[in-house]
């Protein structure tokens, strides 16, 4: 039994095949663009640990990038998707849920308990003094209520959650503003 295919059915099948081929080509081109973006990003931020594929989501970055250390000095931060460039025109890598930035800072990037002391807290206090949020006589290198209040005020002014505790986003913005960025 021989199958007879109408001209309409043949044209529809041909159109479907062409659409699938175009879709595959678009997907391949998109992957190449992402690969080039990732290559440019990692070239700027060496040394980064190798990955099989570029991260697509913030959760991938958190899983892939180890904590800051002498071998891996970069701190990741998730910035809003609207941001085109980071501090001092450094590139940002597009993720599905924002833009990935990496930075180095003397400022603390994690919450500090009250009474904690050290150079990162001293640097944080100096950054807050520069923004006229903390009195110079309050600079003692110790996490306390005055530092927390000044930090919460900066976070509120910057559109961040006003926790009064350091985090990566807060330190990134303080570092950028301190370097004349943003």
163: in domain? yes
Boundary residue ending a domain (79, 103, 127): 103
* Same domain, residue pair 129 and 45: no
Per-residue pLDDT of the chain (182 residues; tens, 9 = 90+): 455 555 665 566 556 656 665 555 555 555 555 568 888 888 888 778 778 888 999 999 988 887 777 777 888 999 988 888 888 788 899 999 999 999 888 899 999 999 999 999 999 999 999 999 999 999 999 999 999 999 999 999 988 999 999 999 999 999 887 654 44
Whether residue 108 contacts residue 166, with contact meaning beta carbons closer than 8 Å, is answered with yes
* Same domain, residue pair 57 and 125: no
Give the range of the structural domain holding residue 170, as residue numbers without chain letter.
119-178
- Check: pTM over 0.75? Answer yes or no: no
* Same domain, residue pair 141 and 99: no
Show Cβ contacts of residue 80 under 8 Å, excluding neighbours closer than 6 positions: 98, 99
Show Cβ contacts of residue 17 under 8 Å, excluding neighbours closer than 6 positions: none
Locate 143 and state its tokens: 């996490």
Number of domains in the chain: 2
């Amino acid at each position: 039994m021989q199958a007879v295919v109408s001209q309409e059915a043949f044209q529809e099948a041909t159109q479907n095949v062409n659409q699938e081929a175009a879709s595959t080509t678009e997907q391949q081109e998109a992957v190449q663009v992402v690969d080039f973006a990732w290559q440019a990003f990692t070239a700027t931020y060496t040394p980064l640990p190798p990955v099989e594929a570029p991260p697509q989501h913030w959760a991938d970055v958190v899983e892939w990038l180890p904590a800051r250390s002498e071998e891996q000095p970069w701190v990741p931060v998730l910035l809003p998707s609207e941001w085109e460039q980071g501090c001092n025109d450094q590139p940002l890598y597009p993720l599905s849920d924002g833009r990935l930035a990496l930075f180095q800072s003397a400022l603390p990037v994690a919450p500090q308990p009250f009474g904690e002391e050290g150079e990162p807290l001293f640097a944080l206090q100096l950054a807050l003094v520069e923004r006229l949020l903390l009195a110079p006589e309050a600079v003692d290198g110790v996490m306390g209520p005055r530092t927390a209040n000044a930090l919460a005020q900066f976070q509120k002014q910057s559109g961040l959650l006003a926790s009064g505790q350091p985090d990566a986003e807060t330190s990134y913005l303080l570092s950028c503003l301190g370097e004349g960025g943003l």
